[in-house]
Structure 1
Amino acid sequence: MGILIVYYSWQGHTETVARELAGRIDGELEKIEPVSESGMFGKVMRAGLGMKAAIRPARTDLTDVDHLVIASPVWAQKVPPYITEYIAEVSNAAGKPFSVIVEMKGSGAENAIAIVRRKLEEKGMQYVSSAYTLEDDVEAGRIGEKIAEFAATIHRAAAAAPMP
């Protein structure tokens, strides 16, 4: 199947990042959609507590996926509860490579990336790379170089992967 880019985007910034990346690595996009969304306070509270929140059915069986990319906003230096729920539902992932890209207003990238990395490594997945973008750069269209650098790490990993 190739590369699957799974993303959640509340205001469209992370979706812009995911689409830019998909164009550079010929990745397939899968949007995480909440069953329902609470107000910003509830979202940030759930993220801060590391809680999950119900999502609509999404492609979580990674049997035919060669590389998973999680694209997420950063809320309270954590990932949204919808990302946490998606990762909890991931199956047939052991041994597969993954990368993480987060989009944020100002800070918290390292912690958010570490959360995703830990949860996917617990499923037996192999970390490849991570990156972050800033909301102001997304809005101004200044993410091309950063996305190109991130895409290159994914291409290098694919080139180094053993043939089946």
Structure 2
Amino acid sequence: MSHGVMVMVLIVYYSWQGHTEKVARALAERVGGRLARIEPVSEVGTLRKAMMATFGIRAAIRPTETDLSGVNFLIVATPVWAQKAPPYVNEYLSRVTNASGKPFSVLVEMGNSGAEKVVAIVRKSLEAKGMRFVSSATTLESDVDAGRFDRTVEEFARTIVEAAAPAA
């Protein structure tokens, strides 16, 4: 795929057990995006994870690409914890800069429910920074385990490619 104008798509993901990472990688192959991992300074236990997520707490992360100056399109890929976004994702979102006017999409990986709530959390945070919501997609853990998420990623990738294409 050759573009007259190189569109820089950044896919930022947090993955605890590898499901979100698997989907984020598949998406990167489809949209030619660059991957950046959100890494906690220290992982906490499961119970504390749920508590922190429930209360919308942010938790320290290692430095990652938060300055979107050179980015044309941001994709945030995140799991669902206790019906909320993980604290590390909240922290990443809070650090995003130079994002105004830029489009973003959200990819949510879940066990069984909570995707809409997480999409809403990410949207609220990035729209507050002047970003434009384009699309969201959800994959189920069981489908990711079984390798049955191609169509979802394919359709999601299409929404991103269409939105990221420079107007002719």
Q: TM-score range by the shorter chain?
A: over 0.9
Aligned match of 2:117 in 111, 121, 139? 111
Instruction: State the TM-score, normalizing by the size of structure 1.
Output: 0.97
Aligned match of 1:5 in 11, 18, 39? 11
Shift of 1:162: 4.0
Tell me the distance in 2 between the aligned counterparts of 1:60 and 1:38: 23
For 1:1-164, what aligned pairs fall within 5 Å after superposition?
Answer: 2-159=8-165, 161-162=166-167
Tell me the distance in 1 between the aligned counterparts of 2:164 and 2:38: 25
Tell me the distance in 1 between the aligned counterparts of 2:137 and 2:120: 11
Listed one character per residue, the Cα deviations across residues 92-149 of structure 1 (whole Å, up to 9, x for unaligned) are 0000000000000000000000000110000000000001000000000000000000
Q: Give the total of aligned pairs.
A: 162
Listed one character per residue, the Cα deviations across residues 55-75 of structure 1 (whole Å, up to 9, x for unaligned) are 000010000000000000001
Listed one character per residue, the Cα deviations across residues 28-68 of structure 1 (whole Å, up to 9, x for unaligned) are 00000000011000011101100100000001000000000
Tell me the distance in 2 between the aligned counterparts of 1:145 and 1:151: 10
SS in 2 for 1:35: coil
The unaligned stretches of length 5 or more in structure 1 are: none
SS in 2 for 1:17: helix
The share of aligned pairs that are identical, in percent, is: 60
SS in 1 for 2:49: helix
Shift of 1:158: 1.5
